[in-house]
């Protein structure tokens, strides 16, 4: 579900946008103005929220981007293996979720974590 649509010139560092169907966080924006009858161009550097992959693209200033809905929630880890079984602390819903490599040493059973639901994809962001 998309919250709103913004122009490329409105994208600031820290803004989340959808590029090629994936959610990205804008890290840097360079806006260049062209001549008398030209349109401005935006060079956008962004990092994927889910995979961490970096993407650089150039778009006209009037190009429109969708802003994804990111739901930040807290959960409790019920079990840890290849994937973690997490229970949401508000709705008590349980689901399996991938554990990021950098958090595998920290997360164990009964840990509290913050997870994000980004357009239907759930990821663990940090241990609380």
- Which of helix, strand or coil describes residue 1? coil
Q: What's residue 73's pLDDT?
A: 94
How far, CA to CA in Å, does 53 sit from each of 1, 36, 67, 74, 117? 22, 36, 18, 25, 18
* Rounded Cα gap, residues 80 and 89, in angstroms: 17
Domain containing residue 104: CATH number:
2.40.50.140
37 backbone dihedrals φ, ψ, rounded to 5°: -115, 10
Q: What's residue 81's pLDDT?
A: 84
Domain that holds residue 122: 70-127
Q: How would residue 82 be classed by pLDDT, with cut points 50, 70 and 90?
A: confident
* Rounded Cα gap, residues 33 and 91, in angstroms: 49
User: What are 30-76's pLDDT values in tens digits?
Assistant: 999 877 778 889 999 999 998 889 999 999 989 999 999 899 999 99
* Rounded Cα gap, residues 83 and 78, in angstroms: 11
Same domain for 60 and 12? yes
User: What are 105-116's pLDDT values in tens digits?
Assistant: 888 888 999 999
Give me the mean pLDDT over the 22-29 stretch.
94
Same domain for 63 and 101? no
């Amino acid at each position: 579900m998309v919250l709103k649509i913004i122009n490329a010139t409105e994208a600031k560092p820290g803004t989340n946008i959808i590029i090629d169907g994936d959610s990205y966080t804008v890290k840097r924006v360079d806006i260049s103005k062209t001549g008398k009858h030209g349109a401005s161009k935006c060079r956008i550097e962004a990092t994927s929220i889910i995979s961490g992959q970096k993407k650089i693209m150039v778009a006209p200033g009037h190009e429109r981007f969708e802003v994804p809905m990111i739901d930040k929630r807290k959960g409790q880890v019920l079990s840890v293996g290849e994937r973690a079984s997490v229970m949401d602390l508000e709705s008590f819903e349980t689901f399996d979720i991938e554990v990021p490599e950098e958090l595998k040493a920290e997360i164990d059973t009964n840990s509290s974590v913050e997870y994000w639901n980004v357009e239907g994809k759930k990821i663990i962001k940090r241990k609380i």
